[in-house]
Chains A and B, each alone.
Chain A
Amino acid sequence: MKSPNRIRIVTNNPLVKQILSDWYTVEYYEDATYRDILVKVRDMVYNGYELFTHPMAGSVKPNETMYKSIVVGTDQKGTDIDHCKLMMNALITCDKFKPTGVQYSDYHYKDFQLIDYTLLCGALDFDAIAGLSKANM
């Protein structure tokens, strides 16, 4: 597990909030869309917060999943141009996918949450399965 010091998770994924809040600082935005999270993090990165995870984790496309979790720093260290570019490109990529118009069911949401959660755990070296069993999922 990566150290929780000086990092926070920006997310709209309730599963991440539920499980990882015990270990990490979780900034949870319930009503934010996938894109909203990208924009929030982009603005943080513009403002000099360090970016720790790639904004486009996973291959579930931005027009499918609604969940996004990104790890950023807690201190303003100065703007990193490469991270700015990453965030800009992530938004460009996000915008090129057309809405699918699919009405998702509860279990879809749950599974999209799960995938986003395991991608984040992969990044944080956090034992995803242990986290799930602890949360009795």
Chain B
Amino acid sequence: MKLELGFIKINDVQFSNECAVKDGILYVNPEEVKEYVYDYDDVKQFVKSISFDIAKPGESVRITPVKDVIEPRCKVEGPGVIFPGVMNHKVDTVGSGRTHVLKGAAVVTAGKIVGFQEGLIDMTGPGAQYTPFSKTLNIVMVCEPVEGTKQHDYERAVRFAGLRAAGFIGQIGKNVEPDEIKTYETLGIKEGIEKYPNLPRVGYVHMLQTQGLLHDTYVYGVDAKRIVATLINPTETMDGAILSGNCVSACDKNTTYHHLNNPVVAELFEEHGKTINYVCNIITNENVYLADKQRGSDWAAKLAKLLDLDAVIVSEEGFGNPDADLIMNCTKQEKQGIKTVLVTDEYAGQDGKSQGLADSDPLADAVVSGGNANMPVVLPPMDKIIGMTDYVDVCSGGHAGSLRPDGSIEAELQIITGATNEMGFNCMSAR
């Protein structure tokens, strides 16, 4: 499957009466976006108000509580739509043809869903270095629920609102000439073996967080709790085949932006045809039921064997029980002779002295770490808050008094969106 990504470089975002891209500036009319977002029952019914704001790199701005970050993209050629299976129920297989990307821009959804809230993005200061979203031009949507809305209805409404906004804004780039076009292509099994007879066959075992409210992931609109491990073309993920429905533990949850820009996919493509033959992705879930964990890792191993893979990268999402899935995915692959590298993060305690993973095995001898999520950080006050800081104390990584009277925050790294990403999105690590 072959996909062209056309990158339209966005250097600035401004609110305007029109929607357009001119000279690298993205003009967005928030009223138009709002109208489109609201033109959907699930949103209309549960979202009382949406306010828009813009946060740019270097500004003294703090966004919290962050739910999801989404990159605006649109399908230009080829079947399907961005985020298949979600909006208009179209489930055509995506990942081929051409897709335009408004590179440098992002839609950030924020707002309260439950009583404890997660996720913070600082656009400047010491916190900014930990989150990739301090470097994007963020169009922030703060959502307010209709009185009496149930948490799960509201979670879905905010999720859809963000996807609709990103989809709408993505469309602005449909007829814009991209600054750069990159082509990604993986081959069928036979074709790949013929074309790259001497290259090792490499796959990517992509673990998805699938546990419950604020802990879910969707594949073509399907709640991934209910899938068995399956195959997906890497290019499908670039068209939004995988969506985030989770935000608890902000530091190591994969936002939709991460899924669209999956760094493992990108880096494997970099080597594809040179040192490796990148065959495909295997998606598997992280369920709570132990038999599901066993089945998921068994199937991922079975599929890898079926594809005659020589090696896989395994990425994790979340804290605690996914460590069990990670280790099972490692040992089952290794035991059938498939070499593995794992990507994870650590909870080594504030002093860095504790055992960082809840499970371990000597076969896991090649691990990349996204850092210790328990590391204490102090975030100075910002001039402007988008959203509300009322929930800082009750965030993962917060404690009583985390939010200080002067507006500064003392907390663990856990609180920062994407800080210890377990797909290897960041440079941070630990030793």
Query: Contact between A53 and B114 (Cβ–Cβ < 8 Å)?
Result: no
* Interchain CA distance A136-B325 in the complex, whole Å: 35
B201 nearest CB across to chain A (Å): 31
Partner of A108, one of B115, B152, B214, B292: B115
Other A-B pairs beyond A59-B253, A100-B399, 17, CB < 8 Å: A54-B289, A55-B321, A57-B320, A59-B215, A71-B289, A98-B350, A100-B393, A100-B400, A104-B394, A108-B116, A115-B248, A118-B215, A119-B211, A122-B225, A123-B289, A124-B289, A132-B152
Chain A residue with Cβ nearest B353: A96
Query: Contact between B290 and A52 (Cβ–Cβ < 8 Å)?
Result: yes
Query: Contact between A60 and B248 (Cβ–Cβ < 8 Å)?
Result: yes
Q: Which of chain A's residues have a CB closer than 8 A to the CB of B211?
A: 57-58, 119, 122-123
Q: Does A34 contact B (CB under 8 A)?
A: no
Query: Contact between B399 and A98 (Cβ–Cβ < 8 Å)?
Result: yes
Which residues, 33 to 83 on A, are CB-close (under 8 Å) to B? Answer: 51-61, 64, 71, 83
* Interchain CA distance A118-B287 in the complex, whole Å: 12
Q: Which of chain B's residues have a CB closer than 8 A to the CB of A3?
A: none
Q: Does A32 contact B (CB under 8 A)?
A: no
Query: Contact between A53 and B290 (Cβ–Cβ < 8 Å)?
Result: yes
* Interchain CA distance A123-B318 in the complex, whole Å: 17
Query: Contact between B394 and A102 (Cβ–Cβ < 8 Å)?
Result: yes
1/0 per residue, CB under 8 A from A, across B308-328: the answer is 000000000011110010000
Q: Which of chain A's residues have a CB closer than 8 A to the CB of B293?
A: 54
In terms of DSSP, what is the predominant structure of the interface of chain B? loop
B185 nearest CB across to chain A (Å): 36
* Interchain CA distance A111-B213 in the complex, whole Å: 10
Q: Which of chain B's residues have a CB closer than 8 A to the CB of A90?
A: 320, 358
Q: Which of chain A's residues have a CB closer than 8 A to the CB of B318?
A: 59
Chain A residue with Cβ nearest B249: A59
A14 nearest CB across to chain B (Å): 16
Q: Does B89 contact A (CB under 8 A)?
A: no
1/0 per residue, CB under 8 A from B, across A116-137: the answer is 0011111110001100100001
Q: Does B151 contact A (CB under 8 A)?
A: yes
A101-B400 contact given A92-B355, A128-B213, CB 8 Å threshold: yes
Partner of A89, one of B212, B213, B246, B358: B358
Which residues, 51 to 89 on B, are CB-close (under 8 Å) to A? Answer: none
Q: Which of chain A's residues have a CB closer than 8 A to the CB of B214?
A: 115
The winner among A59, A118, A122 for most chain B CB atoms within 10 A is A59
Q: Which of chain B's residues have a CB closer than 8 A to the CB of A86?
A: 324, 359
Query: Contact between A105 and B288 (Cβ–Cβ < 8 Å)?
Result: no
Q: Does A6 contact B (CB under 8 A)?
A: no
Query: Contact between A64 and B116 (Cβ–Cβ < 8 Å)?
Result: yes
Q: Which of chain A's residues have a CB closer than 8 A to the CB of B290?
A: 51-54, 83
Q: Which of chain A's residues have a CB closer than 8 A to the CB of B292?
A: 123
Query: Contact between B248 and A58 (Cβ–Cβ < 8 Å)?
Result: yes
Partner of B115, one of A110, A120, A132: A110
Q: Which of chain A's residues have a CB closer than 8 A to the CB of B178?
A: none
The winner among B249, B318, B320, B355 for most chain A CB atoms within 10 A is B320
Q: Which A-B residue pairs are the 5 nearest by beta carbons?
A: A56-B320, A118-B212, A59-B249, A101-B400, A123-B288
Partner of A57, one of B321, B347, B398: B321
The winner among B216, B321, B349, B414 for most chain A CB atoms within 10 A is B321
Q: Does A5 contact B (CB under 8 A)?
A: no
A52 nearest CB across to chain B (Å): 6
A59-B289 contact given A101-B400, A119-B211, A119-B212, CB 8 Å threshold: no
Query: Contact between B400 and A115 (Cβ–Cβ < 8 Å)?
Result: no
Chain A residue with Cβ nearest B209: A59
